[in-house]
Amino acid sequence: MNPNIPGQQIQTRKALLIFLKVVAPPLVLYVDNPDETYAEIKKIITNANQRTPNMIEKTGKGPLKKIAVLDTQIAGVAIQEEPVA
């Protein structure tokens, strides 16, 4: 797809970026509903308790098929839109 050709739409997909405290680059997770999962992870971050960490497991549809991480190790979350070729 060439963005310079009139009438041609650029398709995008959303990726969920999960930032961990102990890993420099974020984990990139493709999910069915990134907006819903984003809100869920934000809530998990807010409710995380250092005294009672919980294991969080999420299933993806891209190169990462499944992640499992302690809620206390999640530093942040973001949604990234990227063009689909």
- Contact, 81 vs 24, CB < 8 A? no
Per-residue pLDDT reduced to its tens digit, 35-52: 999 999 999 999 999 999
Residue 20 belongs to a domain:
yes
Residue 3 belongs to a domain:
no
DSSP string, 9-72: PPPEEEEEEEEETT-SSPEEE--S-HHHHHHHHHHHHHH--TTS--EEEEE-SSS--EEEEEGG
Residue 21 belongs to a domain:
yes
For the chain, give the mean pLDDT.
91
Tally of structural domains, the chain: 1
pLDDT band (50, 70, 90) for residue 9: confident
- Range of the structural domain that residue 28 is part of: 12-83
Residue 2 belongs to a domain:
no
Residue 5 belongs to a domain:
no
